[in-house]
Structure 1
C-alpha cells in the first residue's frame, strides 16, 4: 500500500489512546482519534472524584502523540462496506482501517427504582453528577454502595475515610477476584473505617427508593445516597452497525483482535471479545490490547500476518481510602494467589500503578512501540481445547457482569 493510510480510532480511553499513539510508528499512517470528550478520563480515579480528592482527568496534550488528529464527537454508525463512520454532528469520516475502542459504561441495573434513585459512577459525567450530591448530604446521612467489585470497595472506603456512614452491599462475596487472604485483609480495613459490609445471598438488592434500599428477605436499609457500581455495559455501536458481537455486545474478533466480519476493523479494550473469550475489564488489559490492536493494523499495512494476542496479568490494585490499599498478586492467567501487599505500602503501590498507567500512554506518545508486556500460555491451551467448536455469532447485546473497573 502506498501513500497515506487513514486509520480511525473510535474511543479515547486507555485502549484507544495507546493504539493511536502506537500507530505513529509509521509516518504514512494518518491517525484520527474520535472521542466525545476533550479530556482524557482516568477512570480508575472516578471514586476519588466522588470523594473530592482528585478530578480524574488529564489533558490530552499530556498523553496523545503529536500527529494524531483529535475529533471531539461521537460515532453513531460504522459503514464497513463504505469504510466510513458517521458522527453525531452528521459528518462522515473515511478510513482504511478502523480500531474499535469504545470502552464500557454503566448498565441498566434491572432493579426496580435503581435507575431513578441510585447514582452510577462508571463515567466522568456520572461521577461529576454524584460529587455535589455527596457533598451536600449531612455527614451523618446513610450512604449505601451497591456492588463489591473494585469500584464499590474503593468508593465505600473513600467516603468512609472522609467520615461518611457507609454500608457496602455486596450482592454476593466481597471482592470476587480476591484470594481469601486478600479478601480478609480488605474486610479488616473496611471494618476499621466503619463500613458495614453486607455479603452473602441475602445481600441482594431487590428495590431502591428515594431514601432506602431493600434486600432479599425483606430487610430495608435507610439510604439518603445510593451509589450503584454493580455491573457495566458496552455501547451497542457494533451491533447497530451490523457487526458480529458476543452475547454482551462486545465486538467479536479472532486472536489478532480483527473483527470476524471485516479484516479492516480491529477491536481493543473492554469492547473487544477475542475468540469469544474476552479478558478481564481492566486498564492493565486495555493498554496492552490497544497496543496489540495497533500492531495488528501496522502488520496489515505492511502486508504481514498479524500475531495472536498474548497477554499475561500480574494482579489487581484496590485503594482503601488514601492511606491504605491492597495489591493482590495473580498468576499470568489472572488467577489470584495468596500473596498481597496491604496497608500503607498497598496504597503507595496503587498510586504508583495509577500514575504509571498514564505514564505508559505518555511514553508511547513520545516513543511509539515502547510498551512491552508478558504473555500467558494458558489462554492458548484453553483455545486449543475449544478447537473445532464454532464461535457463537450473535448481534444481541446485554450487560457485562463484572462489578468494577480495575488496573
Structure 2
C-alpha cells in the first residue's frame, strides 16, 4: 500500500462509523478523527432494554476505538465539499482529505398524526430511550402502554415492557412485516404469552396525553404511547447540498462513494448505494463501515475500490429476556421458511449483541480483523433496476 499522510474524518460514532474509523488504521500513516455528538458509544440494539431499565446501552469509546483515533465530541452542521471541510456546532472546522459519512438513522412520531409529535415517545436514539425510561418510572406499573408499530423495534419494546409486568397493547398494520410466515407466528405467540394485546390491521389517527385514537374511532387508554413506526435519517447531507434519496440518505455508487464527490464515502443507515439501500440494521451497518473504509484505503493508495458485496443471514429478535425468534434469511435478506424460537433464540440474540460489540473491539485492537459474509445478490437487483430505466 502506498503511504501518505492524509486526514480522514468520520462523521457518526455508531456501529458503521466506529468500524470504519478503526479499519482505516490499516494504513498507519492516516490521521483519523471521529465526530460524534455523544461522549459514549450507544448500543442501539439495546435501547428497548434501557427504556425498561435492565441495561444502560452504552459503552466507553475507550473500549471500542483504537489507538490513534481522535474522538471529537461535537455535532456536524455542514459539509463543505469543495473546501473539504466539516463545520461543527461548536464553531470548529475540520479539514479532511477523505470523509466517511456514517450519521445513522433517526426516529420520531410523524407530525401528520395529530398529537403524536407532542405526546408519543420515540425509541430510536439514546435520548429517546432515556426520556421514555424516566416516563415509565413516573407512572404506576399498572398504567397502560400502547406501542405503535409492529416492526422489530416495536416487537422488542412491547415484549420487554410486558415481561416487566406492564400492560401493553401493540398497534400495527402488520406484526413483523419483514419476517416469514413461520417466524411471524413465533413472534406473535411469544407476544401473547407475555400478555401483549395485539391490534393488527389498524392505524392511529391521533394521540393525546392519555389516549390513542384509531382510524375507526376506537380509543385506547394510554399513559405512555411509544412510537416505533418508521425511521428517517439526519438531514446533514441534504443541508450540505449533496445528492440524497427520498428519505435523505446519501446517494453513492456501488463502492459507497458519493455521486457528487469521490472524496466522500458513506456507510450504514444513511447510505443509499445505487439508489438501492440495504435494510437499516446493525447487521448491514458494520459490513458497510468496513467496506467504506476499504474504499478510502484503496483511493489513498491510488487503487480501484471494490464494489459492495455482503450477505444477510437473518433477523434476531429479543422477546423479553427469556424468549426470542431468529428469522433465517437468504443472502438477499428475504426470509426463509426456517426460524429458531424460544429460549434458544433468546440465547442466540444475546450472543449476537455481545459479539457485535466485541467485533468493534477486535477491529480496534487489530485493524482489518473484522470479516463479513459476501454475496453477489445485488448484481441481479442492479440489472433489474437498469432494465427498468427507460431508454432516452
Q: Could you tell me the TM-score, scaled by structure 2's length?
A: 0.97
Counterpart contact for 2:204–2:213, Cα < 8 Å = yes
Q: Is 1:9 matched up with 2:4?
A: no
The alignment partner of 1:66 has SS state of coil
Runs of 4+ in structure 1 over 4 Å off: 388-391
Q: Taking structure 1 as reference, are residues 92 and 389 closer, same or farther at Cα in structure 2, changes over 3 Å only?
A: farther
Q: Find the counterpart in structure 1 of residue 74 from structure 2.
A: 73
Q: Find the counterpart in structure 1 of residue 21 from structure 2.
A: 20
Structure 1 position 249, deviation (Å): 0.3
1:21-36 to structure 2, matched below 5 A, reads: 21-36=22-37
1:7-406 to structure 2, matched below 5 A, reads: 7-109=8-110, 110-170=112-172, 172-200=173-201, 203-387=202-386
The alignment partner of 1:153 has SS state of helix
Deviates more, 1:377-386 or 1:254-263: 377-386
Q: Find the counterpart in structure 2 of residue 402 from structure 1.
A: none
* 1:379-399 per-position Cα deviation (integer Å, ceiling 9, x unaligned): 1111122236669xxxxxxxx
Structure 1 position 106, deviation (Å): 1.3
In structure 1, list runs of 5 or more residues that go unmatched. 392-407
RMSD (CA atoms): 1.2
Structure 1 position 376, deviation (Å): 2.4
In structure 2, list runs of 5 or more residues that go unmatched. none
Counterpart contact for 2:310–2:373, Cα < 8 Å = yes
* 1:214-237 per-position Cα deviation (integer Å, ceiling 9, x unaligned): 112111101011001111110110
What is the distance in 1 between the residues matched to 2:235 and 2:144?
Answer: 35
The alignment partner of 2:243 has SS state of coil
Count of aligned residue pairs for this structure pair: 388
Q: Could you tell me the TM-score, scaled by structure 1's length?
A: 0.94
What is the distance in 1 between the residues matched to 2:295 and 2:253?
Answer: 11
Counterpart contact for 2:3–2:27, Cα < 8 Å = no
Counterpart contact for 2:121–2:227, Cα < 8 Å = yes
